[in-house]
């Protein structure tokens, strides 16, 4: 059994869906679980619907209409007007519209999940109908009833013990199964989401529960490259990397793999293929245990929109365990993830993603005990397997704010 995952970039238009059909046709006699994301930038668009809904703004209807138009345009290019896919997709949009007609509860993360989860439900319906129309026999599943999570809305954790029997019961029959990535459900039946870009993780979690032979995530790139080609166009493909290397890359922010994806696969030694959606015959990159040591080129990871926060105790005490533990308790409370930290005698600096709301709440909470300064619009660049030349290249004309070098990794905060 294999797991295939198709992301938003692959499913961004009618041609993308046709290409999924071409790929799946080659596997139609096999045991395959297909995981799909929302189409194109639908999740971002649904986040706008959610924001307007929470703000009680009438703009929520316009935002929803745009998403509808996008999907119905794709339906019009793929299906005859008489196809019942139109009715089915309309039914999902009706449910979503009914939802945004209600008054939001105070649990805004819960509300987020009830709205944003529609992206995957709708895209999977469209893919299902398209594959059927291409003669492929398959079963569509609502993963919210099978992948059981806790109620930590917006960042829900999969409850493996509860999910494994359900997943096995439904997906064990040989054939083609289709379900949604990124979403799950609580035991009470409420929709949850696993954190942005979480579909890769769904694929890995299913592979773990089903003891799959391999996972393939189909992307709009030739595989895992030594940099994001949007930033460094001459980036080269890595043919194979270890689980450990992939975890490091994802941890530092390489967008091509979601950070939680690798661990379940590593635990069961299931290889992960990252393959080019546009050239399915090409090998892509494999992530697995490797016996031989392979030489890797410098690998660049850029994180933009960083803010460097410098925290100084008001009582002029040194930065020590008690201060640091207090600072981290505030960070945890405000769900702020630290990308890099540095300490001196009287100041503790952290580099985090810029999020105005979280930052303000954090500053407000800290202000009685600490003086806090911050500097925005910074970039955090990580180079794995760095060379002097690679460091020079990324610095260019930028001003270095922090430079941190370890045996395999160089990290720079630059302005």
Q: Which residues bind Mg ion (CB under 5 A)?
A: 7, 197
What is the token pair recorded at 361? 């709440």
What is the token pair recorded at 132? 């059927």
Looking at beta carbons only, is 199 or 323 nearer to Mg ion? 199
Q: Minimal distance in Å, beta carbon 227 to ligand ADP? A: 6
Partner residues linked to 309 by β-bridges: 350, 374
Q: Tell which positions 173-212 bind ligand ADP, by CB under 6 A.
A: 197
Q: Minimal distance in Å, beta carbon 219 to ligand ADP? A: 5
The sheet carrying 285-287 orders its strands as 138-140, 176-180, 32-36, 2-6, 214-219, 272-276, 285-287, 240-241
403 Cβ neighbours under 8 A, 6+ residues apart: 410, 411, 412, 413
Q: Which of 8, 40, 184, 198 binds ligand ADP (CB under 6 A)?
A: 8
269: left (phi over 0), alpha (psi -120 to 50) or beta: left
- Neighbour tally for 319: CB within 10 Å: 18
141: left (phi over 0), alpha (psi -120 to 50) or beta: beta
Q: Minimal distance in Å, beta carbon 37 to ligand ASP? A: 3
Between CA 102 and CA 108, with CA 104 as vertex, the angle to 5 degrees is 150
What single DSSP character describes residue 385? T
Rounded to a whole number of angstroms, the distance between the first and last alpha carbons of the chain is 48
Using the rule CB under 6 A, give the single segment among 226-234, 305-313, 334-342, 389-397 that binds ligand ADP: 226-234
* Nearest alpha carbon to residue 182 among 229, 267, 230, 112: 112
Question: Taking CB under 6 A as the rule, does residue 45 contact ligand ADP?
Answer: no
- Residue nearest ligand ADP by beta-carbon distance: 7
Q: Minimal distance in Å, beta carbon 174 to Mg ion? A: 29
Q: Minimal distance in Å, beta carbon 383 to Mg ion? A: 23
Q: Minimal distance in Å, beta carbon 197 to Mg ion? A: 4
Question: Taking CB under 6 A as the rule, does residue 7 contact ligand ADP?
Answer: yes
Site string for ligand ASP, 62-101 (x = CB under 6 A): ----------------------------------------
Question: Taking CB under 6 A as the rule, does residue 104 contact ligand ASP?
Answer: no
Looking at beta carbons only, is 230 or 403 nearer to ligand ASP? 230
Cα separation, 348 vs 311, whole angstroms = 5
Main-chain phi, psi angles of 329, to 5 degrees: -70, -35
**Which of Mg ion, ligand ASP, ligand ADP, none does 14 bind, CB closer than 5 to 8 A by kind?**
none
Cα 310 from chain centre: 29
Question: Taking CB under 6 A as the rule, does residue 38 contact ligand ASP?
Answer: yes
Q: Which of 158, 205, 207, 224 binds ligand ADP (CB under 6 A)?
A: 224
Q: Which of 6, 17, 19, 43 binds ligand ASP (CB under 6 A)?
A: 43
Cα separation, 245 vs 124, whole angstroms = 32
Q: Minimal distance in Å, beta carbon 162 to ligand ASP? A: 22
Q: Could you give the dihedral angle defined by the CA atoms of residues 209, 210, 215 and 219, in that order, rounded to the nearest 10 degrees?
A: -70
State whether residue 128 is helix, strand or coil: helix
Looking at beta carbons only, is 121 or 256 nearer to ligand ADP? 256
Site string for ligand ADP, 241-270 (x = CB under 6 A): -------------xxx--------------
Looking at beta carbons only, is 199 or 349 nearer to ligand ASP? 199
**Which of ligand ASP, Mg ion, ligand ADP, none does 297 bind, CB closer than 5 to 8 A by kind?**
none
Looking at beta carbons only, is 197 or 245 nearer to ligand ADP? 197
Question: Taking CB under 6 A as the rule, does residue 259 contact ligand ASP?
Answer: no
Sequence-ordered alpha helix ranges (H) in 270-387: 321-333, 356-366
Indicate the angle between helix axes 42-54 and 59-78, nearest 10 degrees.
150
Site string for ligand ASP, 167-206 (x = CB under 6 A): --------------xx-------------xxxx-------
Question: Checking DSSP bridges between strand 176-180 and strand 191-193, what pairing results, if any?
Answer: unpaired
Question: Taking CB under 6 A as the rule, does residue 9 contact ligand ADP?
Answer: yes
Q: Minimal distance in Å, beta carbon 153 to ligand ADP? A: 21
Cα separation, 172 vs 174, whole angstroms = 6
Give 77's Cβ-side CA count (13 Å radius).
Answer: 12
Number of residues counted as binding ligand ASP (CB under 6 A): 12
Q: Minimal distance in Å, beta carbon 197 to ligand ASP? A: 4
Residues that bind ligand ASP (CB under 6 A): 7-8, 37-38, 43, 119, 181-182, 196-199
């Amino acid at each position: 059994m294999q797991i295939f995952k198709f992301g938003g970039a692959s499913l961004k238009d009618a041609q993308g869906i046709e290409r999924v059909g071409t790929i799946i046709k080659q596997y139609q006699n096999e045991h395959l679980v297909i995981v799909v994301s929302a189409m194109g930038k639908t999740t971002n668009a649904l986040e706008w619907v959610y924001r307007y809904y929470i703000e009680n703004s009438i703009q929520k209807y316009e935002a929803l209409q745009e998403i509808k138009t996008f999907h119905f345009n794709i339906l019009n290019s793929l299906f005859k007007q008489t196809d019942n896919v139109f009715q089915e997709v309309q039914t999902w949009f009706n449910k979503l519209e009914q939802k945004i007609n209600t008054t939001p509860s105070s649990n805004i993360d819960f509300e987020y999940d009830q709205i944003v989860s529609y992206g995957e439900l709708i895209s999977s319906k469209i893919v299902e109908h398209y594959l059927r129309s291409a003669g492929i026999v398959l079963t569509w599943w609502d993963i919210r009833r099978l992948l059981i999570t806790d109620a930590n809305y917006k960042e829900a954790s999969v409850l493996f013990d509860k999910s494994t029997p359900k997943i096995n019961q439904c997906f064990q029959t040989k054939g083609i199964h289709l379900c949604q990535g990124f979403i799950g459900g609580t035991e009470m039946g409420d929709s949850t989401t696993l954190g942005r870009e979480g579909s890769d993780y769904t694929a890995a979690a299913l592979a773990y529960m089903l003891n799959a032979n391999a996972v393939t995530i189909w992307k709009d790139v030739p595989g895992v490259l030594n940099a994001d080609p949007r930033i460094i166009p001459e980036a080269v493909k890595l043919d194979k990397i270890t689980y450990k290397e992939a975890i490091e890359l994802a941890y530092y922010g390489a967008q091509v793999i979601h950070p939680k994806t690798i661990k379940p696969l590593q635990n069961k030694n299931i290889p992960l293929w990252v393959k080019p959606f546009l050239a399915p015959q090409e090998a892509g990159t494999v992530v697995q245990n490797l016996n031989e040591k392979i030489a890797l080129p410098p690998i660049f990871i850029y994180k933009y929109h960083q803010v460097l926060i410098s925290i100084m105790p008001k009582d002029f005490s040194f930065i020590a365990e008690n201060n640091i533990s207090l600072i981290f308790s505030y960070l945890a409370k405000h769900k702020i993830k630290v990308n890099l930290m540095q300490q001196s005698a009287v100041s503790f600096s952290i580099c985090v993603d810029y999020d105005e709301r979280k930052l303000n709440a954090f500053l407000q909470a800290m202000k009685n005990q600490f003086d806090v300064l911050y500097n925005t619009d910074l970039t955090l660049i990580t180079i794995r397997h760095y060379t002097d030349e690679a460091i020079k290249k990324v610095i260019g004309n930028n001003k270095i704010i922090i430079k941190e070098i370890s045996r395999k990794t160089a990290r720079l905060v630059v302005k």
